[in-house]
Structure 1
Amino acid sequence: AARRRPRPALVVGPVAVARPVAAALLRQPGCGVRPVGLVTDALDLRTHSGEGPELPVLTTDLETHRAVIQNGVETVLVVGASTPAVRTGLLRDLAAYGCVLWELDAGVPSYGFGTGRKGAGHLAGFPRRLLSPDGGPRRGGAGKRVLDVVLSGALLLLAGPVLLVCAAVLRIKDGPGVVFRQERIGKDGQPFTLLKFRTHRPASAHEAATRWSVANEQEMSRFCQFLRRTSLDELPQLWNVCRGDMSLVGPRPERPYYVAVFSQTHPGYRERHRMRTGITGLAQIHGLRGDTSIEDRCRFDNAYIDNWSLWQDICILVRTAALFVRPTGS
């Protein structure tokens, strides 16, 4: 039945990846899916031609919606590192049209990609998983936010004296400006201002935005080194959690410069922004902090999002509390 009447589908992603995937699906009619168009942005189309079947390339929302109606599309396949605008806007619209969204892993084979997850498996040999159009957990999102507000509010009250002492010592030793503010990238690629205690004064705004790490710099005072080792410099981020910029648990937010760099060099890095960023996460409790592998962090962060549950958040918070005072650096 699948061979006789394959379901029409749109392939969303960079042309260089989408065309070979579409070609592979067309070579396997038994998979039950027949690509009828490629969805990408105009800039990607100008810079990458790609190789594969000459399917219609759709670069606007209007063209995509027309293709859905004309072809009776019920399946959307997302491949590669699609832009945040496509993920948060167009995919949500396609889901509203009744399309089922799938994410295909078209890169390095991911053995066990969908083990134990509902709707997982493969399509013409490509590991696949159901994709939530809002980029976050399908259920329990409200519970996660309630946990964030209640716990961060309680921690702010309990840690109030510690915050005051740290701020006073920093003010006496290093002068004004005890709180460090820096732009970071959060959920759906949206920027926000992250708060930390200032442990280092960069030479310029450019250095602050592009220098990777100063954790081992000798010019920091002993007190600042202590704040870094114990992660006490991260406590002001509890206010980011209360405001909704961050969550207690999630992928760590990074500066715009490095988000752009890592998105180009590490497949799946952009997918970390499907969920609100966090103070701690699955990568951090496995020792991936500071100067550690970005590839490993990316893998752990995406595994956390794919398998998210409120119970997992609680377990991560408990393990973080146990590791809080260990001198591992921030």
Structure 2
Amino acid sequence: MNNPTHADQRQLGVPSESIRSTARPTIPERLLADPLHTTITVALDVIAAAAALALARAWEGTVTPHPYGGWASVAFIPLVVVLLAGNSMYRRNLTRNFLDELNPVEASIALASLGLLIPMLLATENYMVGEFILRCWICAGVLIPLTRLVRATVQRYLRRKFGAGAPTLVVGDGPVAHQLMDHMRRLPEYGLRPIGLLDSATATAAEGLPGFVHVDVPRLGAPSELTEVVNATGATELVISFCTVRDAELVAMVRAAHKLDMRVWVVPRLFDTIGRRAQVQHLGGLPLLMLREVNPHGWQFAFKHAMDTTVGALILVMISPVFLTLALLVRLSSPGPIFFRQQRIGRDGKPFDCLKFRSMRPTLASDEQFELQQGSAPGGVEGIDRRTRVGKFMRRTSLDELPQLINVLKGEMSLVGPRPERPEFVELFEIQIRRYGERHRVKAGMTGWAQVHGLRGQTSIADRAEWDNYYIENWSVWLDVKILALTVLAVLRRSED
């Protein structure tokens, strides 16, 4: 179908300028939107598995064909691909996180190796078979995840650098819809690029709730006009948010979107309570969404706190030479105590003294007063820069926060959790920011889910609350390990002016 004329645009209620601004993406934009996700990923896995086989043979000290080597080459590669597909490793998700993929990828490689070993042992009496399969397992266990890591890193870089992504239509014009589009624009690595809204002609943009923002995108028509809008814009993604459209019309729109080969995403009701462990079950033909309980006072978090104390003590012992050296440098840098103590709010709203290495000189009368920008959290360099030379280094590398390990040993903090805030700001934020107070269901942390995603210093408070509550609702030991690993990476590339 040809693109709509100006008359068609007026019938859709779409200004010609809006159509031009949401025209079909160019070839580079289509490539950056990753339309060949499955094909490219399968091809890379096949190449990595073939390289693993070749490396296993070279490791054995020869490149001549073995009686079992040819069989392995034929069977190992497709077996790995089939098992990865069974673990949904070729499904196109919003994000490609290496740590999330590591476990199912390694499990698939291990099963492929075992599945190949058993029939080969039955087919030959050569004891070298086991050693060869072990080498294949080790080589594939390194090369396949490494290839996937490179692919995900390149994809994320291209999306952040060029801001390209799949052209996305959002159904609804309320605060949740605008929050979604704001996330899409600020987080291009998710691969969604909002190009317009679909809603009834009588709907008006709702005033945003605390922390929500309005995103200026054109209204391209009503949900019933989806086909015409898709043909005009080349949209490939559809996100259904809360709107005034009847459910029957939304169901018809989903059917039409699937016929247009669009991916459809739906924001569920009660989305604040839905975590990654929520399950969909069926009562007859009716789906029921089961919400897993999150109990910060239950045994899971008791285990977390015991693990925090144990690991925190081990870390403190291991870094004691660095800790004592920094303490000496702080003492020599300027007059004042070694530790900087500041009252913060922890679990269940209880205050405690949060410890840091002192990084600033004493205040002078000439120093200006800091004025917090509206919508931003306190933190970073506030007012006049009073950091000492060693203080700048510690702030840039986050070494100034090492004394919080003492807070962890005292049971006041966790290794991972929402970052604590000062009492005066907590009272203000609980009034202004939606769900801010729910962060205090758990102990404050030295690092957190929000911090490893760049939300530190003077960044959005609403975004921090959103990411912190996600962490609480989806807590697991593996998530803590993942955050600690991401913290190391974030510290290595962090710089503070």
Decide which of 444, 455, 458 is 1:288's aligned counterpart: 455
What does residue 443 of structure 2 align with?
276
SS at match of 1:325: helix
1:310, distance to aligned residue in structure 2 (A): 1.2
Letter in 2 for 1:188: D
Distance in 1 (alpha carbons) for counterparts of 2:378 and 2:466: 20
Distance in 2 (alpha carbons) for counterparts of 1:115 and 1:183: 32
Structure-2 change in CA distance of 1:129 and 1:166 (3 Å): same
What does residue 313 of structure 1 align with?
480
1:196, distance to aligned residue in structure 2 (A): 0.4
Letter in 2 for 1:316: I
1:314, distance to aligned residue in structure 2 (A): 1.1
Distance in 2 (alpha carbons) for counterparts of 1:154 and 1:274: 26
Letter in 2 for 1:318: A
What does residue 297 of structure 1 align with?
464
SS at match of 1:180: strand
1:213, distance to aligned residue in structure 2 (A): 3.4
Structure-2 change in CA distance of 1:119 and 1:187 (3 Å): farther
Whether 2:422 is the aligned partner of 1:265: answer no
Structure-2 change in CA distance of 1:137 and 1:197 (3 Å): same
SS at match of 1:302: helix
Segments of structure 2 that go 5 or more residues without pairing to the other structure are: 1-268, 282-288
Structure-2 change in CA distance of 1:137 and 1:309 (3 Å): farther
Contact 2:312–2:405 under 8 Å retained in 1? yes
SS at match of 2:492: coil
SS at match of 2:355: strand
Distance in 2 (alpha carbons) for counterparts of 1:116 and 1:221: 44
| 1:162-219 superposed Cα distances (whole Å, 9 cap, x missing partner) | 1111111111121231111111100000111111011124569xx89x9933526433
SS at match of 1:254: coil
| 1:235-268 superposed Cα distances (whole Å, 9 cap, x missing partner) | 0000100110000000001110010011010010
Distance in 1 (alpha carbons) for counterparts of 2:425 and 2:484: 26
Contact 1:195–1:237 under 8 Å retained in 2? yes
Which structure has more helix as a fraction of its residues? 2
What does residue 346 of structure 2 align with?
186
Name the stretch that deviates more: 256-265 or 318-327: 318-327
Decide which of 153, 159, 162 is 2:322's aligned counterpart: 162
Letter in 1 for 2:353: T
Name the stretch that deviates more: 111-120 or 274-283: 111-120
What does residue 81 of structure 2 align with?
none
Segments of structure 1 that go 5 or more residues without pairing to the other structure are: 1-108, 122-126
Task: Kindly report which structure 2 residues correspond to 1:1-330, keeping only aligned pairs within 5 A, or say none.
Answer: 111=271, 113-114=273-274, 116-118=276-278, 132=294, 136=296, 138-200=298-360, 201-202=362-363, 212-213=378-379, 215=381, 217-329=384-496
1:139, distance to aligned residue in structure 2 (A): 4.2
Which structure has more strand as a fraction of its residues? 1
| 1:2-25 superposed Cα distances (whole Å, 9 cap, x missing partner) | xxxxxxxxxxxxxxxxxxxxxxxx
SS at match of 2:340: strand
1:158, distance to aligned residue in structure 2 (A): 1.3
1:304, distance to aligned residue in structure 2 (A): 0.3
Structure-2 change in CA distance of 1:252 and 1:115 (3 Å): closer
Distance in 1 (alpha carbons) for counterparts of 2:470 and 2:296: 13
1:229, distance to aligned residue in structure 2 (A): 0.6
1:128, distance to aligned residue in structure 2 (A): 10
Structure-2 change in CA distance of 1:116 and 1:150 (3 Å): closer
Contact 2:380–2:457 under 8 Å retained in 1? no
State the structure with bigger RCO (CA 8 A, min sep 6), 1 or 2. 1
RMSD: 3.1
Structure-2 change in CA distance of 1:160 and 1:270 (3 Å): same
**TM-score w.r.t. length of structure 1:** 0.58
Structure-2 change in CA distance of 1:120 and 1:293 (3 Å): farther
Structure-2 change in CA distance of 1:329 and 1:273 (3 Å): farther
**TM-score w.r.t. length of structure 2:** 0.39
1:324, distance to aligned residue in structure 2 (A): 2.5
Contact 1:137–1:305 under 8 Å retained in 2? no
Distance in 2 (alpha carbons) for counterparts of 1:220 and 1:120: 53
SS at match of 1:167: helix
1:221, distance to aligned residue in structure 2 (A): 2.2
